[in-house]
Amino acid sequence: MRRRPGIGGIQKQRLEQEKYKDKGTILQLNYLEQMSQQVEIFRRNLEEFALKHKTEIKKNPQFRRQFQEMCASIGVDPLASGKGFWSVLGIGDFYHELTVQIVEVCLATNYKNGGLISLNELRLRLIKARGKSIQHQEINNDDLLFAAKKLNIFGNGFCIIEISKGEYLVQSIPGELNMDHTAVLQLVSKQNKPYMSVSILREQLQWDTERAKKSLNHMIKEGLAWMDLKNTTENLYWFPSMFNECINSQDN
Amino acid sequence: MTVEIKWPWQYNFPPFFTIQPNLETRKKQLEAWKTLILNYFKQTNQYILDLSDISNLELFNNSSISRSLNRDDVILILDFLTRSENAEAIDKNKNRWYIYWHSLREWAHIIYSWAQKTNRTNSVLTFYEIRSTPNEEFTELNEEILSKALQLLESQEKAEIILLQDTCGVKIF
């Protein structure tokens, strides 16, 4: 027969547990201290590194990307730091400038794309508007994403939609797109044709007619899509932001 | 017509040929149609649109994407052009239209400045003389439109229209 645990036993157990806990806390504290020391060293190195390679960071997009990742890993946001060390670097300025230019391009093309633009088109137009020197030209999609994400602070007036791996749309009009709307945009991009229809949605996403219609009509209502009633088989919903001739048109 | 028209991207965008239900989008669409129609008439040196012809006009029919505008669509667009003084229905049934790629006011101003610049004021000019002046924007200008523009100048007391034996003349002050 098993002995039942007595009061003494329970107390002993509790005491041991408390001891372990104390020891654990001490260990944790030590660890934390070590960690923060390491992070501090890393941060200092990063600052030195940034200062030393300031021009390189501004010029070289790959370098810039790696630098961003390093910053992110220790929670330094070179954009948020308007004062102090990081502002001396001018790296924040680089992104602030990009952010302003992104807004400019979005506003300038709004009349034709309804406020939806692919990141690629955005980049091409932005590069064209910037100076001709190499430093101004070497802007890649990572830079744009990094800068554009800052625009989230303006609420839902600005957002980035990933439509497939590495393919993004930037939406610059207020009005939120739900999962269904995003799914429609993703499908349009995937099929490589700039339109969508109820039957395509039924077939590809197994949606019922009501759901498909609701989503497509929302796109019309938001000015992101144009209605085509003159197709012979069914109504089509066209997206100027994905229509090549519109993307490439130079008239403003 | 051998003039090469530079079609805007919208012309190849199929829904451009459906009047848009969203009013914001429709505004953009009508503006684009306006620019296109005025350019087209200017480049082909035409002044009058007859709606019985629209099915033959490349302007309203893009065969490469099988899209075209019907009569109601065209009238809706022309009503929009009327609001900016760029079109005017000639008859009550809206079958024939003046297309003003310069508004009458602009035409009046152009002719008036030309007369001032070239010292043609205070002498009688026949309508024919004005229309056959080479290399001016109003060269070959439709006679009815010329007459309307000159009447506008007359109402501003900048000109006086004179009926000659078999034609009309004008004295610009």
CATH number listed for the domain at residues A177-252 = 1.10.10.10
* Nearest to B31, CA basis, from B100, B73, B80, B65: B80
Distance in angstroms (rounded) separating the CA atoms of residues B61 and B1:
16
pLDDT tens track for A101-160? 888 888 888 888 888 999 989 988 888 887 666 666 678 888 888 888 877 776 667 888
Q: Is residue B151 part of a domain?
A: yes
pLDDT, tens digit, 9 for 90 and up, residues B117-164: 988 888 888 888 888 888 888 899 998 999 999 999 999 988 888 888
Do B94 and B13 have their domain in common? yes
Does A45-175 match A177-252 in CATH topology?
A: yes
Residue B39 lies in a domain: yes
Residue-wise pLDDT tens digits, B78-87: 999 999 999 9
B15/A238 Cβ within 8 A: yes
- SS3 of chain A: CCCCCCHHHHHHHHHHHHHHHHHHHHHHHHHHHHHHHHHHHHHHHHHHHHHHCHHHHHHCHHHHHHHHHHHHHCCCCCCCCCCCHHHHHCHHHHHHHHHHHHHHHHHHHHHHHCCEEEHHHHHHHHHHHCCCCHHHHCCCHHHHHHHHHHHHHHHHHCEEEEEECCEEEEECCCCCCCHHHHHHHHHHHHHCCCEECHHHHHHHHCCCHHHHHHHHHHHHHCCCCEEECCCCCCCEEECHHHCHHHHHCCCC
When comparing pLDDT for A78 and B127, which is higher?
B127
Residues B85 and B160 in one domain: no
In chain B, the number of structural domains is 2
Please check whether residue B3 lies inside any domain of the structure: no
Angle (CA) B45-B50-B53 rounded to 5° is 100
Residues A151 and A103: beta-carbon distance below 8 Å: yes
Kindly state whether residues B78 and B135 are assigned to the same domain: no
In chain A, the N- to C-terminal Cα span, in Å, equals: 92
Note the pLDDT of residue B59. 95
Indicate if B46 and B127 belong to the same structural domain. Answer: no
Residue A11 burial (10 A CB sphere; 0-12, 13-18, 19+)? exposed
Any A CB within 8 A of B166 CB: no
| Domain limit, last residue, from B70, B99, B128 | B99
**Domain layout of chain A by residue ranges:** 45-175, 177-252
What residues of B are in contact with residue A228 (Cβ under 8 Å)? 14-15, 17-18, 67
For residue B83, what is the domain's CATH number? 1.10.10.570
The answer to whether residue B2 sits within a structural domain is no
User: Among the CATH numbers 3.30.200.20, 1.10.10.10, 1.10.390.10, 3.55.40.20, which is that of A45-175?
Assistant: 1.10.10.10
Residue B109's pLDDT band (cuts 50, 70, 90): very high
B91 and B13 inside one domain: yes
Closest Cα of chain A to B38: distance in Å?
16
Q: Do B25 and A223 touch (CB under 8 A)?
A: yes
* B9 in A contact zone (CB under 8 Å): yes
- Domain of B139, CATH number, reads 1.10.10.10
B161 and B111 share a domain?
Answer: yes
Do B110 and B68 share a structural domain? no
Full domain range(s) for residue B146: 104-172
Give the whole-angstrom CA distance, residue B72 versus residue B19. 10
Contact status, residue A158 vs residue A171, Cβ threshold 8 Å: yes
Q: Tell me: pLDDT of A9 over 70.
A: yes
Q: Tell me: do B143 and B79 sit in the same domain.
A: no
Task: Please state, in angstroms and rounded to a whole number, the distance separating the CA atoms of residues A235 and A233.
Answer: 7
Cβ of residue B138 closer than 8 Å to a chain A Cβ: no
Chains A & B: contacts with CB separation below 8 Å: 55
Residues B147 and B110 in one domain: yes
Indicate the residue among B53, B84, B99 that finishes a domain: B99
Task: List CB contacts of B48: < 8 A, sequence separation 6 or more.
Answer: B90, B96, B97, B98, B99, B142
* CB–CB contact A230 B18 (8 Å): yes
C-alpha pair distances (Å), B10 with each of A70, A155, B13, B95: 45, 32, 5, 26
| pLDDT, tens digit (0-9, with 9 covering 90-100), for A32-58 | 888 888 878 877 887 787 778 777 777
A224/A113 Cα distance (integer angstroms): 7
B18/A221 CB distance under 8 A? no
Residue-wise DSSP of chain B: --------GGGGSGGGGS--SSHHHHHHHHHHHHHHHHHHHHHTT--EEEGGGGGG-GGGEEGGGTEE--HHHHHHHHHHHHHTTSEEESSTTS-EEEE-SS-HHHHHHHHHHHHHHTT-TTSEEEHHHHHT-TTSTTTT--HHHHHHHHHHHHHTTSEEEEE-SSSEEEEE-
- Tell whether B4 is covered by a domain: no
Regarding whether B118 and B85 lie in a shared domain, the answer is no
φ, ψ dihedrals at B71, nearest 5°: -60, -45
Burial of A150 (C-beta count, 10 Å sphere; 0-12/13-18/19+): middle
Per-residue pLDDT band at A27 (split at 50, 70, 90): confident
Same domain flag for B134 and B73: no
- Complex ipTM > 0.85: yes
Cβ contact A226–B21 (<8 Å): no
Name the amino acid, one letter, at A243: F
Minimal Cα–Cα distance from A116 to chain B, Å?
A: 13
